[in-house]
Amino acid sequence: MSEPSRTPGAEDAPEPAVAPDDSASAGPARRPGLHSVARRVFIPSAALILVFVAFTLIFTDTMTSVMATLQRDVVGGFGWYYILLVAVFVAVAIWIGVSRFGDIVLGQDDDEPEFSMPVWFAMLFATGMGIGLVYWGVAEPLSHYVDPKPGVEGSPSRLAQQALSQSYVHWGIHAWAIYVIVGLALAYSIHRKGRPVSIRWALEPVLGDRVKGWWGDAIDVVAIIGTVFGVATSLGFGVLQISAGLEYEDVVDSSTTLQIVLIAFITGIATLSVVSGLGKGIKWLSNGNMIAAAFLLVVVLVLGPSLFLLENFVQSIGYYLANVLQMTFDNTVFQGEAGRDWQASWTTFYWGWWISWAPFVGVFIARISKGRTVREFVAGTLLVPTVVTFLWFSVMGGSALYRNMFTDDPVSGASIAAGNGVDQDTALFDVLSALPGGSIWVGLAIILVALFFVTSSDSGSLVVDMLASGGDPNPPVWSRIFWAVTEGLVAAALLLAGGLDALQTAAILIALPFSFVTIGMLVSVLKAFREEHSVMVRAERRAVHERLTTSVSSSVTDTITTQFGEWFGVGSAIAGPTSTHRGRGGRRRVRGAEGAEDVPNGS
């Protein structure tokens, strides 16, 4: 790969900044206990989250009622805001990638990318996978097909096509545009400006030195709470699916008690992964679940209706591209209450969930993108995970749609016939069990979800701990354990407070404060890039002016020396002193630096 172009002005980037007092990142000699973290961030974040957990565990019925009220009366009112915000993120992310800012390097000008392009793509691919994709890969397209979006009508083929395209909207470029904005702000702050790994420093172009005070503390607190609830939402989905899978295989009946036990058990495994260290724990688990996910995808593709699935993949991309603009801004306003309920359960929930996940994913993709140009960052982050997601939905969701459209053995047939719609917890297992060796693939899926649970908890606790430690990339182990356990507690509290509805409501509401932070990060990115580009343009103009001045001066000097040297004595001065005297025969004898020469008279 060619070396990234040099961007003038980067040599003036400041040294890594350290916030004052206990908001600073830990030094080499870390003191034990709360002295090893940023107390002004850690304590408020932990206190607010633990108060929510305690209140839910003590007053479960009250919290269940509160969550139901919020879901019914409050969440629906945020739909238009989230839709508009995400649309802006998509437009700005694409514009930044193709604009003059694309040549800016996320690092110093001579920094090379830490990872080769194939390895970087593989890491972005891994980022695009997770518990949510496994849970919703079958459940969402089938749900949209069985119970279409209000206002969507037509033949089964049109409903199926619309179902997949709606899933693409929820999981594709729109989600990753949010991560592009947050990741760009962080990558520029961390690698270009040398700031700690902390959300506050991404807003430095807008807030200036105020990021070192309570403004910065508040921003990090909001980011931590959003990340914890975002990760807990994913963990909640994972536990719902694991417990449903165990019941599907007649191992044990699914219940809230079982789900709480599973959270405790798998959180314990995640804690062991934390204690073992990043290299030994999360690395091997991440590699393992990526291999398992890819293998499961190939199994369904090969053993299922292969030709249909491949054709579906190609056709659905075209349908998505033809309708994505309308679907982006559609908030079902003319469908009344039914439209608002649908938005709260699907689009508004997803946009809130992605925003709450943004600090987690943004920190990860920022850390692996040092040395990349802005254009590479935007293109890779938008395209690679999106293609992976589309393929996953086309294969997994397409398999379910095929069975429900063309066979007498529909997925979730009993639940649909009873008028309960798609059983989202077991839809994946229903697809896998119909394949040859079905029980094996169901067992593999359960293990896959459990692995994603562990890696999400491990990675999430690391990111939260860095934010709570003032940007320390190697935070203390005890606080990572604390955050891993806290994420499990929040997931358990949400399940007790209403299950899936509570998970969705929490994701939407918790994301609201951080959505304002993301707007600030968007403004910061544009401001920083504009200033950087201005420096680059001025430096380029100076360089062009200097080259032009040198070239003109040299040309004029050469012309004068060549054409008018004898007239003005310039050539003589350059050639050296000469003397002239009249010799025999009337010839002039000229003596110069190179010797004597006879010149005829009249010359």
C-alpha to C-alpha distance for 558 and 554, rounded to whole angstroms: 6
What is the reported pLDDT for 420?
87
Average pLDDT over residues 20-28: 37
Q: Given pLDDT bands bounded at 50, 70 and 90, which one contains residue 36?
A: low
3-state secondary structure 4-46: CCCCCCHHHCCCCCCCCHHHCCCCCCCCCHHHHCCHHHHHHHH
Average pLDDT over residues 452-459: 80
What are the b/e assignments for 437-470, b being 16+ CB within 10 Å?
eeeebbebbbbbbbbbbbbbbbbbbbbbbbbbbb
pLDDT in tens, 58-71: 888 888 788 777 77
CA 242 to chain centre: 26
CA 364 to chain centre: 7
Question: 146 in helix, strand or coil?
Answer: helix
DSSP one-letter string for 426-445: THHHHHHHTSTTHHHHHHHH
DSSP H/E element including 588: strand 588-592
Q: Given pLDDT bands bounded at 50, 70 and 90, which one contains residue 298?
A: very high
Q: Which residues contact 588 (CB under 8 A, 6 or more apart)?
A: 580, 581, 582, 598, 599, 600, 601, 603
Helices (H) and strands (E) in the chain, counts: 23, 3
Which of 10-14, 283-287, 443-447 is modeled with the greatest confidence?
Answer: 443-447
Q: Assess whether pLDDT exceeds 50 at residue 30.
A: no
How far the first Cα of the chain sits from its last, in Å, is 64
Burial of 323 (0-12, 13-18, 19+ CB in 10 A): middle
Q: Assess whether pLDDT exceeds 50 at residue 594.
A: no
Q: Assess whether pLDDT exceeds 70 at residue 20.
A: no
What is the reported pLDDT for 518?
95
Among 268-272, 356-360, 515-519, which stretch is predicted with the lowest mean pLDDT? Answer: 268-272
What is the reported pLDDT for 590?
47
pLDDT in tens, 333-367: 999 889 988 998 899 989 988 998 899 889 888 98
Q: Given pLDDT bands bounded at 50, 70 and 90, which one contains residue 129?
A: low
Question: 172 in helix, strand or coil?
Answer: coil
Q: Does 2 or 134 have the greater pLDDT score?
A: 134
Q: Does 600 or 239 have the greater pLDDT score?
A: 239
Q: Given pLDDT bands bounded at 50, 70 and 90, which one contains residue 477?
A: confident
Which of 100-114, 263-277, 420-434 is modeled with the greatest confidence?
Answer: 420-434
pLDDT in tens, 407-421: 999 999 888 988 888
CA angle 230, 382, 528 (to 5 degrees): 85
What is the reported pLDDT for 89?
97
Percent of the chain with pLDDT over 70: 82
pLDDT in tens, 210-241: 988 899 999 999 999 988 988 888 888 889 89
What is the reported pLDDT for 283?
64
pLDDT in tens, 154-191: 999 999 999 999 999 999 999 999 999 999 999 999 99
What are the structural domains of the chain? 10-23+34-536 (1.20.1740), 569-603 (no CATH)
Instruction: Please check whether residue 216 is in contact with residue 210, taking contact to mean a CB–CB distance below 8 angstroms.
Output: yes
CA angle 260, 262, 267 (to 5 degrees): 100
Q: Assess whether pLDDT exceeds 70 at residue 572.
A: no
